[in-house]
Amino acid sequence: MRIAVFCSGSGTNLEAMVNAQKRGDIKAEIALVVSDVAGCFALKRAEKAGIKALVVERKKFSSGKEFESEILKSLQKEKVDLVVLAGYMRLLSADFIKEYRNKILNIHPALLPSFKGTHGIKDALEYGVKITGPTVHFVTEDMDAGPIILQSAVTVAEDDTEETLAESIHKEEHKIYPRAVQLFIEGRLKIEGSRVRIL
Amino acid sequence: MRIAVFCSGSGTNLEAMVNAQKRGDIKAEIALVVSDVAGCFALKRAEKAGIKALVVERKKFSSGKEFESEILKSLQKEKVDLVVLAGYMRLLSADFIKEYRNKILNIHPALLPSFKGTHGIKDALEYGVKITGPTVHFVTEDMDAGPIILQSAVTVAEDDTEETLAESIHKEEHKIYPRAVQLFIEGRLKIEGSRVRIL
């Protein structure tokens, strides 16, 4: 099985995947890193790990469709079976999702369905929840609403800032995201309606 | 400090309060049990624990206002400082809440702000979350939206039914609800906007 990891930033979840693969906790090839941001740190991590990396910048294409079709072409060329979004800051179109139906995973830094959107950590902290944590889910057309694969609970400490809370959540992300990927690889994720049964 | 516990059903959280008080984990008097349902099991628990119980049935009053005013009269007579909702299935009016501003606690069987409303356990299970759990919060005019005091994480097991999940959640409720009450009694809950700081 061949995996593509999509990144836009520092790529700490990519790093977690690479490490899990080295340890043998992910039994598949990370065949490709795709980034929409030239020069982002995730690309350096890919280079260091010897993973083929592809930069596809939206501004180089006249439409979102052409932009995505360039990415899809590369995925097909690399025979990618699973797309792992790891801090990829761009929404995928319905057409793209259709091409990889139930084969795209994402991680969100809050316990979905709470605190959807791009500020899951800040929003949870400001709301005042005492428990939060990351969610790995299948990507569907509705943002942050796809079937949930794994979640992990993180206790909000009294003196947590957005930074310290983010650190605690990311630590859990780096545990559950590789685990979810390996469950996918083993064919143990069965989607039943909005629920995921782990076989 | 004197507490009133409001119930409509079996009163397991009332029982948890009574036990916590016996153990010395709640250092206050449970002065009154109020129920809107004649003959509910919570009333039997109150009787067994030797707590004064009051049945106030809505149908005996021509308006919600008169119904609540009967309850408020009893709370004032008993010099109640804190109202603890424990499976009380009736919404309190804004007027009632104003009388006991920041002195009414409720417990909800889901990790708020997820799964508000009367089917928090079923809704979470059907959504397919992997982590849920109870929330103790201050009661405000907006249902299930008051400042959060304590939450506890419960892992949803693969084979959980609504019944088994409810059992796991109630077990956590019986731990965190008495703890939240004692924090209130000790004056350690400081509301700051929508957040509760525990001093």
| Per-residue pLDDT at A150 | 98
Q: A128 to chain B: which residues are within 8 Å by CB?
A: 147-148, 193-196
Q: Is A124 on the interface with B (CB under 8 A)?
A: no
CA distance B14 to B185: 17
Same domain, A51 and A124: no
Nearest chain B residue to A145 by CA: give it. B127
**pLDDT tens digit string along B93-138?**
999 999 999 999 999 999 999 999 999 999 999 999 999 999 999 9
Query: A67 Cβ partners below 8 Å, 6+ apart?
Result: A56, A58, A60, A61
pTM recorded for the entire structure: 0.95
For residue A134, the model assigns a pLDDT of 98
Are B92 and B3 contained in the same domain? yes
Residues A168 and A193 in one domain: yes
Q: What is the ipTM of this complex?
A: 0.94
CATH code for the domain of B118:
3.40.50.170
If asked whether residues B164 and B73 sit together in one domain, one would say no
User: How many A-B residue pairs are in contact by the CB < 8 A criterion?
Assistant: 68
Same domain, B62 and B116: no
Per-residue model confidence as pLDDT tens digits over B26-67: 999 999 999 999 999 999 999 999 999 999 999 999 999 999
Q: Are both A30 and A50 inside the same structural domain? A: yes
In angstroms, the Cα distances linking A134 to A46, A116, A151 are 24, 11, 6
CA B112 to centroid of chain Cα atoms: 14
* Residue B126 pLDDT: 97
Q: Which of A116, A80, A115, A114 is nearest to A100 (CA)?
A: A80
- What SS3 class is residue A55? strand
d(CA B149, CA B138): 7
**pLDDT given for residue B151 in this prediction:** 98
Token pair in block for residue B157: 């097991």
- Confidence (pLDDT) at A133: 98
Q: For each of chain A's 199 residues, which pLDDT tens digit applies?
A: 999 999 999 999 999 999 999 999 999 999 999 999 999 999 999 999 999 999 999 999 999 999 999 999 999 999 999 999 999 999 999 999 999 999 999 999 999 999 999 999 999 999 999 999 999 999 999 999 999 999 999 999 999 999 999 999 999 999 999 999 999 999 999 999 999 999 9
> Using one digit for the tens of pLDDT, what is the confidence trace for B139-196?
999 999 999 999 999 999 999 999 999 999 999 999 999 999 999 999 999 999 999 9
Q: Report the C-alpha gap between B176 and B118 in whole angstroms.
A: 20
Which residue range(s) make up the domain with B17? 1-101
Domain check: are B112 and B163 in the same one? yes
Q: Report the alpha-carbon distance of residue A108 to residue A137 in Å, rounded.
A: 8
- Residue B73 and residue B118 in one domain: no
Chain B nearest-CA distance from A137, in A, is 10
Q: What is the mean pLDDT of residues B80-96?
A: 96
Number of structural domains chain A divides into: 2
Count of other CB atoms within 10 angstroms of residue B1: 16
Residues with Cβ within 8 Å of residue B51, at least 6 apart in sequence? B18, B30, B31, B32, B33
Residues A97 and A112 in one domain: no
Same domain, B72 and B30: yes
Domain check: are A79 and A116 in the same one? no
Within this chain, do residues A95 and A3 fall inside the same structural domain, yes or no? yes
Cβ distance B80 to B31 under 8 Å?
Answer: yes
